[in-house]
Amino acid sequence: MNALGRHVLAELYGCRRDVLNDVKKVQELMVAAAIKAGAEIREVAFHKFSPQGVSGVVVISESHLAVHTWPEYGYAAVDVFTCGERVDPRTAADYLVEGFSAASFTTQEIQRGVFDTESQAAASD
């Protein structure tokens, strides 16, 4: 079995609330995480909500990094999805755990586009 991509879902708790509410800082951390993981950045889009919270995405050649923050709870939901072997989504997620100063976190990795190479080859014949 092979997978086309790896998707890391990270739940970050006890984060610095001032950082979670600072759109510029959140964007800087997300871009840095993508670079640290070895990704090639294509697009960056972030939005600051009123009265609080930030959402954003870093589109990379290998897929994307996304974040949604709830400063009032010290919580950030992070997705890092990468395709191919060159970029490690866990490297990016670990960087964000540190960058947001998370007191605790959980991660879950999901393989995306899982297929059996023999079955796939037979189907294309």
Query: Hey, which residues are catalytic here?
Result: 63, 68, 83
Phi and psi torsions of 87, nearest 5°:
-105, 130
Edge-to-edge strand ranges of the sheet holding 75-83: 41-48, 54-60, 63-70, 75-83, 2-13, 104-115
The answer to whether 19 touches 100, Cβ cutoff 8 Å, is yes
